[in-house]
Structure 1
């Protein structure tokens, strides 16, 4: 987000301006490839329902009938087809759609089995979540799983922090000083010249930068470090999930195979113990959901441990419509009925941010606005690349990369530190990466200086 210069930058820009410009350049080089991947997959995920229906239409659509098969037969059919244990089931909103059952296999793999609710016939089997789940895992960089997936997920947090730094430094560069005014409208129409790309870069950053910052900040709950830290603070201050009902006992932290689905991040991994004796039944749990007037669609999570309640979570688009039932699978008794009003202030802000981030909270206008932010990242990256290409030195080398020159003296870097340090305190992993970048920059400059001395 650079501003147009008339001819040559005056001396007032030679210090702080050049320092901020240099860090804006290097931040873009380091994180833009990752931001482009994140916004590409995020933009696709905004249309997950449409993609899902287009790919699996033959498995999803079933003839609508008035008669319904016994729900426990759905589980039996799915377990047989998926060769494992039924872990959760998504009840659709309409009678002409199949139910989806996640099956956990003994080898650790997961499958999604589509079952006709009227006949209990299997209509198809896919990898868990299908195409949209792959897009989601690419978006969070957890596709590979294990230590590699965790390391890449940590990288997402670093990239998100640097995205905020990019926007902050870009705003600093755009801000008018003792020179021509900041760019508000394009002034150069010739796409072959650098001013056109400079204005396109500045305008895109100025008008859509707020959306990019919002996406970066609200994407932090998915990160491995900052997300867990935020959740810990939220729970510790009592501003998160509601307290467990006295009749149900305290919350427990679920093992991975018992973690309920669809309950939102605030209640992630939270389960309630029960003391029922007998055989649990999906039919009984669905009768309870109907009695409690829980609107469809919703997800029923089936715990592997018999002493845990079944979780029935409404699938919503608006955060304030969230509702989760915790039901004794044997008796059908409701152990907890949690609604939006019972959450703390931090949890409400947390869940609202996620709903807006995913383009669901305010309908199509929300989705289009988030998509605009995703497209803007690509425009910023491509226009930045073109600008660098047009101003690159004749011969590229370790000392001639086309980066803005480093200003002399430490005072010029104060502007950078004033922008970056507060963000680094808020996002510690970004701060650590900043320290690494500072050390690398110093080493490169020292190396280039030694080569200059040797050559002379």
Structure 2
């Protein structure tokens, strides 16, 4: 990077202090975010290649020999209930192809299990802990650090600060001279601290758009900001729900941190309720538990008749007003489908598809599929894996750069540079992002207060020392 004049003399003392404050925030925030970015990249890499890893690790559970006659969904469910009479079955995944197993999700003795069934012979192929398997654990760690709501908020805070750091980093390393060396390309002849600085700056510069894409698409799934964003932008015609009994819950309640059931676009739609009186109209004599067994094949047939592609799940009714929910969170979001059926009559209460999504919802769903490496198959997976590696390198190189530039014998912030004429604009952008992402804004105010208090404490100690 070419040299720049020292701007210190031209600035009032208070303004330099403001720069110093921003400089400290940038580095401290980086140290806070780096562990999260490393964790998110590693767990993201694991989940990114879920299809390939599943085939390698669980082939005996997923693959079955093709036979002449397949058992109905109701027969399969009956066999599962016979094998686990005390369990509550919550979900059913029909076979996706002729040589694939059926899957049930059930709770038994306080443990959630994935049960795999041969749909031809009815033989139970085996079970898997629904949480403590590689993919589910990686996804839950990626989503909430395995600690629920608090973890979700920490992930959201780290992602928000990651966005702030990317944007402010662009200002920090923007070219200030005619040469692009060290900014647009690394100075390969450099050594030591300068070599690390160039690699960190150049990869950050060229990868900033990708980093922002990953962070922003990930933010849409967070529990606070993502929910507010969805509520503001995901709107469906009110007429779709005029004649539909509602449960008082949202469809998003079907999602968990370890498993995505319904698409982001429909999370804020009402979750319909079943009408117990329908048991005497269409399927007389069936109580709620009996109807769960007698209508599952009807739900499968309805999904096929309505063109829902294989790969969907069926969430079974929970309680007297629960509904069957068919959900396809498709690799190509244009094939997304969310259907809710009355558990007594089998009537379709709601059917939401891609054409019902608004522009923002379509954009977000497309971005999420790119984020997860699903939209363009293996090419998308490899590209997103390279982005994860980029994030890992940026995180590690930033940590190394801080370590090499830290004050001698201290873990503090590197000395302040005074050749940053655009830094005031960067601070403005940071403050705007603080408003856009409330958790970031709240933490920004908290850090500012703590920094002022620590500054006052240091000055008081200095005064006391000089007087002594």
TM-score by length of 1: 0.86
Is 2:161 the partner of 1:174? no
Could you tell me which residue of structure 2 aligns to residue 449 of structure 1?
459
SS of residue matched to 1:430? helix
Q: What corresponds to 2:283 in structure 1? A: none
Aligned to 2:341: 327
SS of residue in 2 equivalent to 1:222: coil
CA–CA distance in 2 between the matches of 1:78 and 1:257? 25
Cα distance change on mapping 1:104 and 1:142 into 2, 3 Å: farther
Aligned-pair CA distance for 1:315: 4.2
Structure-2 residue corresponding to 1:421: 431
Structure 1 position 382 matched with structure 2 position 396: yes
Secondary structure of 2:265's partner?
coil
How many angstroms apart in 1 are the aligned matches of 2:312 and 2:299? Answer: 12
Structure 1 residue 318, shift from structure 2 partner: 1.3
In the alignment, is the contact (CA less than 8 A) between 1:89 and 1:301 conserved in 2? yes
Could you say which residue in structure 1 is the equivalent of 2:313?
A: 299
Correspondence for 1:244:
240
Of 105, 128, 135, the match for 1:102: 105
**How many pairs are equivalent?**
437
Contiguous gaps of at least 5 residues in structure 2: 10-15, 280-285
Question: 2:12 maps to which residue?
Answer: none
Q: Secondary structure at the match of 1:310?
A: strand
1:317 is displaced (CA, Å) by 0.2
2:6 alignment partner in structure 1: 11
1:206 matched residue in structure 2: 205
Instruction: Return 5+ residue gaps in structure 1 as ranges.
Output: none
1:363 corresponds in structure 2 to 377
Comparing 181-190 and 84-93, the one that deviates more:
181-190
| Alignment correspondent of 1:35 | 37
- Alpha-carbon contact 2:33-2:158 (below 8 Å) kept: yes
Please give the secondary structure, in 2, of the residue aligned with 1:72. Answer: helix
1:137 to 128, 140, 152: 140
Change (3 A) 1:392 1:307: closer
Alpha-carbon distance in 2 for matches of 1:91, 1:354: 24
Equivalences for residues 396-415 of structure 1 within 5 A = 396=410, 401-405=412-416, 414-415=424-425
Where 2:240 maps in the other structure, the secondary structure is coil
Distance change in 2, residues 1:440/1:90 (3 Å): same
Which moved further from structure 2: 37-46 or 444-453?
444-453
Give the secondary structure class of the aligned counterpart of 1:104. Answer: strand
SS of equivalent residue, structure 2 residue 67 = coil
Contact 1:91 1:99 in 2 (8 A): yes
RMSD across aligned C-alpha pairs, in angstroms? 3.0
Distance, in Å, in 2 between the alignment partners of 1:110 and 1:451 is 57
Q: What's the CA shift for 1:322?
A: 0.7
Matches of 1:364 and 1:337, distance apart in 2: 31
Q: Is 2:150 aligned against 1:154?
A: no
Which of 319, 330, 334 in structure 2 is aligned with 1:316? 330
Q: Secondary structure at the match of 1:194?
A: helix
Provide the rounded CA distance (Å) in 2 between the counterparts of 1:76 and 1:404: 70
- Identify which range, 18-27 or 64-73, moves more after superposition: 18-27
Structure 2 vs 1, CA of residues 258 and 406 (structure 1 numbering), >3 Å: closer, same or farther?
closer
Structure 1 stretch displaced more, 299-308 or 26-35: 299-308
Q: How much has 1:333 moved relative to structure 2?
A: 3.5
Structure-2 separation of matches of 1:322 and 1:13: 57
Separation in 2, partners of 1:380, 1:396 = 23
- Give the CA deviation at 1:87: 0.9
Which residue of the partner structure matches residue 336 of structure 1? 350
Alignment of 1:435 with 2:445, yes or no, is yes
Alignment match, 1:57: 59
